[in-house]
Structure 1
């Protein structure tokens, strides 16, 4: 299992699309916007540089969660690699748990690099407790998006998994207020945003850096999406297994 996990992680780190779109793009987007709006006040009294740090870290982690699962999983299923895994001593649950663990590992670069850019370039300062709480919550909160990526990987072909994942990723980022604050949206769009896992995911981070703690509503919404999408991923995996 550890060797399989190591192989999966190394393969993704060697993928140029992962490095560009998942690791480098959120950092560049953060630096661009933070240098324009960095001193402006946002919701909750946050400066824009801290608010955008959470937004771009959330976007990067979400992108990593989906892109590191959907396309590789679809490719493995289509190429017959899934069938080869099924005849190894690895049980099915261990294969899924390895995918989940590797995907969680791959969310860390975007979280850490955006945070590092905020510290070094924008001089964002938080207590050690808030940094640990922020990174921990943002790390574990990526589970619903990993499940969504696995669902796409089980249902779609390798050619269609990437564009569908990217469209869904951009839609979640926009609808969840990661690119545009929900405060500037109308009531209808705000209500939609508040039902999105992407908004609740980022809102946990925004709340932590203000010192307000993690809102229970955010936890329940993200956990509910995790359960629902996890069930969808399990169902899709069973269908993919039967077809394989």
Structure 2
């Protein structure tokens, strides 16, 4: 009997959580080493906040700086979630990687949980960069609990946009995914009150703003920085939860059929 095979540490089964951890680590490194993803999602929101909020905005008031901080925070995590899920899922489907992963002895849900962890980590980096710019350049002053509330709200907001990105990634191939996501991402950002108050939009556009998930997350984020008076946080949170469940269900059906 080969007792070495039974007693050598390498022969012991790894804990289940280690498989989730390693999958998340590889997913993060995969996108971190892809400049076409990491550079835009990490740098565009802080640069846009600096350019349009401060330089081109002519040193707007502290209130405007706080409003735009909430808007660009939501804008940043939307980009991470939509592109991080949508494009990679479309590419993985096209290259047959999803079929390969199903054949591997992976824990259930490791693929999706790894992508959620990746989106959370990239979003946290974006939020830290925006917060540093807001505090140092724009002169935003918030109590510590409001800073933490803004970050926590936006990180939880990753979930519905990840589900939306996952569904979009099941609709097209790798080449068509960026174009499709941009067709959803940019109008949704501009029509949800992220950059200008909804009161400044035409009446028709203002009336359909609640249809966008970004509107509900923006209301929650704006509340953390002192805006969105009268907003009902539990209602907005409930809508985002329903959106996450809906698109996760639709994406699961598409993936099961493919």
**Length-normalised TM-score, structure 2:** 0.85
Q: Provide structure 1 residue ranges, at least 5 long, that are not aligned to the other structure.
A: 41-45
Name the residue aligned to 1:220: 238
* Cα distance in 2 between the residues matched to 1:122 and 1:182: 22
Note if 1:112 corresponds to 2:133: no
> Which residue of the partner structure matches residue 141 of structure 2?
125
Deviation at 1:217, TM superposition (A): 2.3
CA distance in 2, matches of 1:124, 1:112: 14
* Counterpart-to-counterpart distance in 2, 1:116 and 1:232: 38
CA RMSD of aligned residues (A): 1.8
List per-residue Cα deviations over 1:97-127 (Å, max 9, x = no partner).
2222222222212122111110111121111
Cα distance between partner residues in 1 of 2:199 and 2:42: 27
1:101 corresponds to: 117
- Residue 233 of structure 1: aligned partner: 251
Task: For 1:152 and 1:136, locate their aligned partners in 2 and report how far apart those are by CA, in whole Å.
Answer: 25
User: Does 1:39 pair with 2:60?
Assistant: yes
Please give the alpha-carbon distance, in whole angstroms, between the structure 2 residues aligned to 1:50 and 1:37: 15
Count of equivalent residues? 235
Give the conservation status (yes or no) of the 8 Å contact 1:5–1:98.
Answer: yes
Confirm whether residue 163 of structure 1 aligns to residue 182 of structure 2. no
Answer yes or no: is 1:70 the counterpart of 2:70.
Answer: no
The unaligned stretches of length 5 or more in structure 2 are 1-19
Corresponding residue for residue 87 of structure 1 = 103
What is aligned with 1:26?
45
Partner of 2:202: 186
Change (3 A) 1:237 1:182: same
Contact 1:68 1:106 survives alignment (8 Å): no
Distance 1:100 1:79 in 2: 21
Aligned 8 A contact 1:59 1:173 in 2: yes
Q: In terms of mean alpha carbon deviation, does 189-198 or 214-223 score higher?
A: 214-223
State the alpha-carbon separation in 2 of the partners of residues 225 and 200 from structure 1: 11
